[in-house]
């Protein structure tokens, strides 16, 4: 048994022995009754070879996204993180913490995409906020709803409105893929 009282399956030594054999190394055993056992794999030394830096192509992540995006979220830390992430992609990121700020941002310049959090912390959720903006300004740019809510009802509401949904925790690769797809439309 282990020091924590767990009993193993006895596979560790046989796995080590097999790996040592495959690699052409020797597995040594030193054991004393009532003292325990020590197993060791002897590996020959080799001359150190300086590591060579290789350029790896990063599947399109180096390409800049020429977009202006409005992020609507009541959490300033989230907005700061989105600004940093999108900024690395060459995106002009505008932020708003509520519908009033979002309306001002949309009215002041061309926005290509809105990333709206569903839980905005006040009486209005992200879908209601988009409805208010649509009523005030008319047609909106494409909207992506971001939420930790995985309910089918919310997905259906967003789908009816034509809003793709990304779930928290937000995966940057999924966000970038969706933004790239929306840019191609």
pLDDT digits (tens, 9 = 90+) for 69-124: 999 999 999 999 999 999 999 999 999 999 999 999 999 888 999 999 999 987 78
pLDDT, tens digit (0-9, with 9 covering 90-100), for 33-80:
888 888 888 887 777 777 666 554 444 445 677 889 999 999 999 999
Chain mean pLDDT for the chain: 85
Compute the distance between CA of residue 37 and CA of residue 175 in angstroms, rounded to an integer: 53
> For the chain, what percent of residues have pLDDT higher than 70?
86
- Check whether 130 has a pLDDT greater than 60: yes
Q: Is 131 helix (H, G, I), strand (E, B) or coil?
A: helix
Q: Where are the domains of the chain?
A: 12-42, 68-184
What pLDDT does 58 receive? Answer: 47
Mean pLDDT of 28-34: 86
Contact 72, 106 (CB under 8 A): no
Max intra-chain CA distance, the chain? 84
Q: Are 79 and 71 in contact (CB under 8 A)?
A: yes
Q: Is 141 left (phi over 0), alpha (psi -120 to 50) or beta?
A: beta
DSSP H or E segment with residue 178: helix 172-184
d(CA 72, CA 126): 8
Model pTM score = 0.66
Segment 137-153, tens digit of pLDDT? 999 999 999 999 989 99
Long-range contacts of 84-87 (CB under 8 A, 24+ apart): 85/172, 85/175
Best CATH choice for the domain 68-184 from the list 3.40.50.2300, 3.50.50.60, 3.40.50.300, 3.40.50.200 = 3.40.50.2300
**DSSP string covering 58-75:** -TTTTS----EEEEE-S-
As given in the structure block, the two tokens for residue 51 are 């590591």
Q: What is the pLDDT of residues 153-165, one digit of tens each?
A: 999 999 999 999 9
DSSP string, 82-100: HHHHHHHTT-EEEEESSHH
According to the model, what pLDDT value does residue 56 have? Answer: 47
């Amino acid at each position: 048994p282990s020091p924590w009282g767990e009993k193993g399956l006895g596979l560790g030594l046989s796995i080590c022995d097999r790996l040592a054999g495959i690699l052409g190394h020797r597995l040594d055993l030193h054991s004393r009754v009532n003292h325990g056992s020590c197993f060791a794999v002897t590996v020959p030394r080799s001359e150190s070879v300086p590591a060579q830096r290789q350029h790896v192509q990063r599947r399109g992540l180096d390409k800049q996204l020429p977009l202006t995006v409005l992020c609507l979220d009541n959490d300033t830390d989230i907005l700061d993180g989105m600004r940093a992430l999108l900024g690395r992609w060459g995106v002009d990121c505008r932020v708003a913490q509520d519908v009033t700020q979002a309306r001002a941002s949309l009215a002041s310049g061309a926005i290509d995409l809105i990333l709206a959090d569903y839980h905005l912390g006040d009486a209005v959720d992200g879908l209601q906020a988009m409805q208010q903006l649509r009523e005030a300004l008319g047609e909106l740019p494409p909207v992506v709803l971001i939420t930790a809510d995985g309910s089918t009802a919310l997905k259906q509401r967003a789908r009816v409105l034509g809003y793709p949904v990304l779930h928290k925790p937000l995966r940057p690769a999924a966000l970038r893929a969706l933004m790239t797809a929306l840019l191609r439309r």
